Structure 1
Amino acid sequence: MKVLLFLAKGFETMEASVFVDIMGWAGIEVVTCALQKKIKSTFGVSVNPNILLNDVCIDDYDALAIPGGFEEYGFYNDAFSEQAVSLIKEFNDCGKMIATICVAALALGNSGILKGKKATTYHLNNGHRQKQLAEYGAIVVNEPVVRTDNIITSYCPQTGPEVAFMLLEELVGTEKMQETKIAMGF
């Protein structure tokens, strides 16, 4: 089993790491991808992804995970790119799980897959990002984590573990997810 972790420039390392660690504890391989051979996170951590986005074959993956990031660090440049839009649509068209944390839901909104669906995104700062998500046609729900069909969205970095465990449960079942939670001390 494999999860594709799309890292847009300016991604938040904490939001990415929950997918890596939780899936890893459960024995699921996480493969990182990005538009460039080297990218920097929000606070300057350099990462060399395992694969470039253009080389991804979605048939090789069971789910897509996308951490959020900061606009000031170029997050939306990559997250809203044509390649990212295509990747998101392909995973959705195949009915594969897509899990996002915080503003990564905006990439889903930008791709068009959230039209008429319940979702959430970053909720602070006068709800600016939630209003933006609504402009894409999403039905915004001001809750920490929202699942609609094959899509999981959440509203801030604090929700990261919950999102990753929810994705894990979908991939391996409740019993294996609970075993992983206990092993990790949750």
Structure 2
Amino acid sequence: MNKYMVLLSKGYEETEALLVVTYLRRAGIDVDTISTMDTLETLGDHDIMIRADKKWDEINLDDYAGIITPGGVTGSETLAADQRVTKAIKAFHDAGKLVASICASPIVLHAAGIAKDIEGVCYPGMEEAVGFKKAHEEIVFFDQNVLTSRGPLTAPFFALKLIEIIKGEDARNDVAGQILLPRVQEALVGMAQGKCACGTTEGGESCCCGHHEHAEGGCCGHHDHAEGCGCGHHDHAEGCGCGHHGDKKEGGCCGHHHH
């Protein structure tokens, strides 16, 4: 009973479904994609065909420790109308098993009769349709044994929280490092502080980010680049990206003379 299922119905959001499966498998978590349709072949909301691991009628619910539902309005409505799914979600919730829904799919929690008893989040504007006991604004929210999240771009955080719940914080941090989350977060913080995408202020012409007038540090993070440098700037001073100082002789990192 250490397996988890991701449900695929007609019109699910492919990003939310596959990203969750990918991240959980990176963490060594046993997860099956389950088609609620009559065939293993399922069609997502953006016409991407995905072959599920199993069909609903082929599984034993007792083999699974959790149910995960991706969003997509059509897919979520299809799941919400499927009594096999809603009965299973209610049974999992009552048994203390993990239930996780993202984007529009918390409407399935409403159809299962459990949304009114939990606090959570969903795609903005769907709060009334879901009917949480209390709706929140966070990108992920965990209450009792139910994890919810808001949409496609919050799916990585949804998946990482699932890993943390199932395997612990170390496993979560390991996968976060694999997907470069710390670096992305650092870049986003820098951009919020007025730095360009390469982590510096006032990008220079031909800078890696394509902006003008680098103040401190060019695309390689140093001052006053020389003409012909790999980053296309002039006047390399001490600490070129190639690790050399002052004037550089023939055959530097960028193959030009006199840095």
Query: What interval of TM-score do these two structures reach, taking the shorter chain for normalisation?
Result: 0.7 to 0.9
1:55 aligns with 2:52: no
Give the CA deviation at 1:54.
2.7
Q: Which runs of 5+ in 2 are unaligned?
A: 182-259
Query: What does residue 96 of structure 1 align with?
Result: 97
Can you list the C-alpha shifts for 1:23-82, whole angstroms capped at 9, x where unaligned? 1111112201122212210011122222222332222122211100133xx541233211
Q: Which runs of 5+ in 1 are unaligned?
A: none
Give the CA deviation at 1:107.
0.5
Q: Spell out the pairing of 1:55-74 with structure 2 (5 A cutoff).
A: 55-71=58-74
Q: Spell out the pairing of 1:175-186 with structure 2 (5 A cutoff).
A: 175-186=170-181
User: In 2, Cα distance between the equivalents of 1:78 and 1:97?
Assistant: 17
User: In 2, Cα distance between the equivalents of 1:138 and 1:57?
Assistant: 31
Secondary structure of 1:121 counterpart: coil
User: In 2, Cα distance between the equivalents of 1:184 and 1:176?
Assistant: 13
Query: What does residue 146 of structure 1 align with?
Result: 141
**Retained in 1: the 8 A contact 2:21–2:31?**
yes
- Paired residues, what number? 178
Secondary structure of 2:147 counterpart: strand
**Retained in 2: the 8 A contact 1:7–1:33?**
yes
* More displaced 10-residue stretch of structure 1: 14-23 or 46-55: 46-55
User: In 2, Cα distance between the equivalents of 1:140 and 1:177?
Assistant: 25
Query: What does residue 43 of structure 2 align with?
Result: 40
User: In 2, Cα distance between the equivalents of 1:132 and 1:92?
Assistant: 20
Report percent identity of matched pairs: 27
CA root-mean-square deviation: 1.6
More helix as a share of residues: 1
TM-score normalized by the length of structure 2: 0.64
Q: Structure with the greater relative contact order (CA < 8 A, sep ≥ 6): 1 or 2?
A: 1
Query: What does residue 117 of structure 1 align with?
Result: 118
Can you list the C-alpha shifts for 1:81-121, whole angstroms capped at 9, x where unaligned? 11111121122122111111101111011101122321121
TM-score normalized by the length of structure 1: 0.88
